[in-house]
Amino acid sequence: MSFLRISWLVLLLAGSLQAASRPNIIVIMSDDMGYSDIGCYGSEVATPTLDRLAAGGLRFTQFYNTGRCCPTRASLMTGLYPHQAGIGHMMNDRGHPGYRGDLNNRCVTIAQVLGTAGYRCYMSGKWHITKTTRPKNEDGKHNWPRQRGFDRFYGTIHGAGSFFDPNSLTRDNTLIAPEDPDSYYYTDAISDNAAQFITDHDSDKPFFMYVAYTAAHWPMHAKPADIAKYKGRYDKGWDVLRDERLARMRKMGVLDRSWPLSPNVQDWSDARNKPWQRVRMEVYAAMIDSMDQGISRIVGALKTAGQFDNTLVLFLQDNGGCQEEFGSNGAVRPKNLARQSAMKPGELQYSMVPKITRDGRPVRQGFGVTPGPSDTYVAYGIQWANASNTPFREYKHFVHEGGISTPLIAHWPNGIKEHGTFRHEPGHLVDIMATCVDLAEAKYPAEWKKSPVHSMEGKSLVPVFGGKDLPDRPLYWEHEGNRAVRVGDWKLVAKGRNGPWELYNLKTDRSELKNLVEAEAERAKKLESLWNTWAIRANVLPWPNSGQARKVSRKRMLNLKADARLPRDGGVPNVKGRGFTVTATIGQPGQGVLVGHGGTAHGWALWVKDGKPVFSFRRNGKLTELVGPDALGKSRVVSARVGEDGGLVLLVGDREVARAKAAGTLAQVPQDGLEVGQDINGAVGGYQAPNRFSGQVSGVTIRLAK
Ligand SMILES: [Ca+2]
Ligand SMILES: [Ca+2]
């Protein structure tokens, strides 16, 4: 036998010995769920499987995601900050390296790295890190899971869709239709495919599996038996739910008892259509319940395969509870509910919001549409999201604690010896790659396919599993101009590109209610400087502006209906550097925002406070507010005029009621969109978003100067 052959034998032998000792790794991630939404973090929703994993392992209390679906997935998969992987925002290409909407060639996925160390890699669920969901040819799939290191894939390429008929459903590299449309439910399909991958796995090698549920992202879709379990559970409303969760979280030790509860977004007593609101949360709970049932089948497959003890199971969430009122505002639509012809068997479905079900029933949206079944498509709303994020502030999109805090459960009988213990060490998604590389004894590459790859940003959590702390290090965030940096107990955070920095001591105030930015100005400056340096290094800055200028409306006049909602890159009026007049007609009097465009940096809003008309104008962060001296009474027409010189006028009917001067017209088209009847995300005026109008707006007209 030649020397070469002997070396091969030794290598093979070493390889198989190594394989036996290295653990399998399963990363399970859920979608759009808040910090308090699973049982072992304080929820009333039944998650017995996750609770058992927590009881048999560790719960991290200060683990973080990025605040949004796709950046989180980019960061988790690559071990980099999302902008370094090319996905700082959504899946559209903004023409700047940090914002291409597609994984770039400077990153590798965990599957690619672990594949080089002899792992088999499987994925079941939502991918959402490429802009190509409907490729023209095979090249368009270059960032699909199979091309990014996974040996088997079942799931969706796109970021959202129907649970009964998801768009971009794919097996390996082929777009498919649901196998059994009559009984299909995506959460079950994700669970069952993941379990099957384990069952089919050849245990000579270790495996890495990524299970990315879309529960409980909108639409609120669940199976009747699961919904029935929660009937009546939320009758007392979100105020009581927040209090109950807070009490449980404090009792179990997830939270420090000194951290207060963030403000309530709306009192339950003020809620419109309470029966509908209750069902929205019942369905949301059912979606989580169903996911946990599926995770129990994955755990069952591990046990059957004799792999349970040698598998690290991590569970986490991709962003905080979601405040987006997607499909749940405005008049019920479509008006015509006549059944249409059914889709053909096996026909591919490409829409995020299908117009009809496979059997031809129109899919309904609007305020009051009872969620659950396949012919509906609505969200659960900001108030329940506020409860999901108990006790923290803000939501998905934002980088305050409510947007970026996630449970992290770590269960691994062979490697984690403590049971039911908390870990308070701060950690971030970027640490998952480092942990996987560590456990797989893999080598993280310096280059991939001849292109240099960014170094890993994270630290292995393996020492933390064993009870050690990591050295203090900065953790960073940016999404949609929302910014944050955390070092030790201190966190500097801001809303919007030009929003002011806030400083919090998370040890005493993780609810971020006591802003210390003035009291600790020196500390704030140091953190700001760290953030600025990172932002340039990590492709966050300069901010991308491309695309936006092209996507604003060219119209000089816009007539908007009561429920109009123009996303910021979808037809908003081009108010940059121009005068304009906005007129709102009130159908039914009330309080709140008549129409708002923009947020905390740039924008304007026409609203009603204590019966009086108000016009808020925000230029480069500076707010000018005009308040009418008298209540509107029977007056139904309110206008505001912005002059070329920054002169602002508020009118009731034709009568001028207030006047002021801003430094000029708006310096840019706001990052936030325009909404009639509310102001979502960042608030333009001196109120808390969305400050929905409690009456009815009949319509809004906007006229732009030349
Ligand atoms: Ca999400
Ligand atoms: Ca806004």
Contact assessment for residue 32 and residue 216, using Cβ atoms and an 8 Å cutoff: yes
| 574 vs 385: CA distance, rounded Å | 32
Q: Is 297 helix (H, G, I), strand (E, B) or coil?
A: helix
Distance 598 CA to ligand 2 centre (A): 4
Dmax of the chain from CA atoms? 101
Distance 700 CA to ligand 2 centre (A): 16
Distance 322 CA to ligand 2 centre (A): 15
**Fold topology of 3-332+364-465:** Alkaline Phosphatase, subunit A (3.40.720)
The predicted pLDDT at position 20 comes to 47
Contact assessment for residue 501 and residue 528, using Cβ atoms and an 8 Å cutoff: yes
Q: Is 148 helix (H, G, I), strand (E, B) or coil?
A: helix
- Checking 663-666 for CB contacts under 8 A at 24+ apart, the result is 663/619, 663/620, 663/622, 664/619, 665/575, 665/576, 665/577, 665/578, 665/579, 665/619, 666/575, 666/576, 666/577, 666/578, 666/598, 666/602, 666/603, 666/604, 666/619, 666/642
Where in the chain are all domains bearing CATH 2.60.120.200? 551-704
Distance 363 CA to ligand 1 centre (A): 23
Ligand closest to Cα of 605 equals 2
Triad 136, 137, 142: Cα angle to 5°:
110
Contact assessment for residue 42 and residue 242, using Cβ atoms and an 8 Å cutoff: no
Quote the DSSP letter at residue 527.
Answer: H
Interacting residues of 389 by C-beta distance below 8 A, sequence separation 6+: 34, 35, 36, 262, 320, 321, 395, 401, 402, 403, 405
Ligand closest to Cα of 572 equals 2
- Sheet strands (E) in 244-401: 311-317
pTM of the model: 0.78
Distance 602 CA to ligand 2 centre (A): 9
Identify the H or E element spanning 55: helix 48-55
- DSSP for 383-419 reads HHHHHHTTT-S--TT--SHHHHEEEEEEE-TTT----
Where in the chain are all domains bearing CATH 3.30.1120.10? 477-537
Distance 55 CA to ligand 2 centre (A): 42
Question: How do strand 120-126 and strand 207-212 relate by DSSP bridges?
Answer: parallel
The predicted pLDDT at position 95 comes to 76
Q: Given the structure tokens 């290090």, which residue do they identify?
A: 473
| 610 vs 627: CA distance, rounded Å | 11
- Helical pair 274-304 and 186-200, crossing angle rounded to 10 deg: 10
Distance 69 CA to ligand 1 centre (A): 4
What are φ and ψ of residue 602, in 5° steps? -135, 140
Ligand closest to Cα of 396 equals 1
Where in the chain are all domains bearing CATH 3.40.720.10? 3-332+364-465
Distance 669 CA to ligand 2 centre (A): 12
Quote the DSSP letter at residue 101.
Answer: S
- DSSP for 416-434 reads ----SEEE---EETHHHHH
| 299 vs 47: CA distance, rounded Å | 13
| 318 vs 404: CA distance, rounded Å | 8
And the tokens for 416?
A: 């984690």
CATH placement of domain 477-537 = 3.30.1120.10
| 644 vs 626: CA distance, rounded Å | 17
The predicted pLDDT at position 15 comes to 42
What are φ and ψ of residue 625, in 5° steps? -125, 130
The predicted pLDDT at position 7 comes to 53
Distance 570 CA to ligand 2 centre (A): 14
Identify the H or E element spanning 476: strand 475-479
Ligand closest to Cα of 495 equals 2
The predicted pLDDT at position 8 comes to 53
Distance 596 CA to ligand 2 centre (A): 6
Low-confidence ranges of the chain (pLDDT < 50): 1, 10-20, 546-550
The predicted pLDDT at position 670 comes to 87
Q: Is 8 helix (H, G, I), strand (E, B) or coil?
A: helix
Triad 437, 438, 442: Cα angle to 5°:
45
Distance 310 CA to ligand 2 centre (A): 48
| 587 vs 636: CA distance, rounded Å | 7
| 168 vs 350: CA distance, rounded Å | 6
Q: Given the structure tokens 């920095």, which residue do they identify?
A: 501
Q: Is 220 helix (H, G, I), strand (E, B) or coil?
A: coil
Ligand closest to Cα of 73 equals 1
**Count of CB atoms within 10 A of residue 128's CB?**
26
Question: How do strand 565-566 and strand 580-588 relate by DSSP bridges?
Answer: unpaired
| 162 vs 607: CA distance, rounded Å | 35
Amino acid in position 600:
T
Distance 497 CA to ligand 2 centre (A): 13
**Count of CB atoms within 10 A of residue 373's CB?**
18
- DSSP for 359-379 reads TSPBPBBSTT---BSTTB---
Ligand closest to Cα of 321 equals 1
Distance 284 CA to ligand 1 centre (A): 14
Contact assessment for residue 453 and residue 86, using Cβ atoms and an 8 Å cutoff: no
Triad 434, 439, 443: Cα angle to 5°:
60
Contact assessment for residue 504 and residue 493, using Cβ atoms and an 8 Å cutoff: yes
CATH architecture of 551-704: Sandwich (2.60)
**Closest Cα to residue 659, out of 648, 667, 670?**
648
Contact assessment for residue 647 and residue 536, using Cβ atoms and an 8 Å cutoff: no
Distance 113 CA to ligand 1 centre (A): 25
Distance 605 CA to ligand 2 centre (A): 9
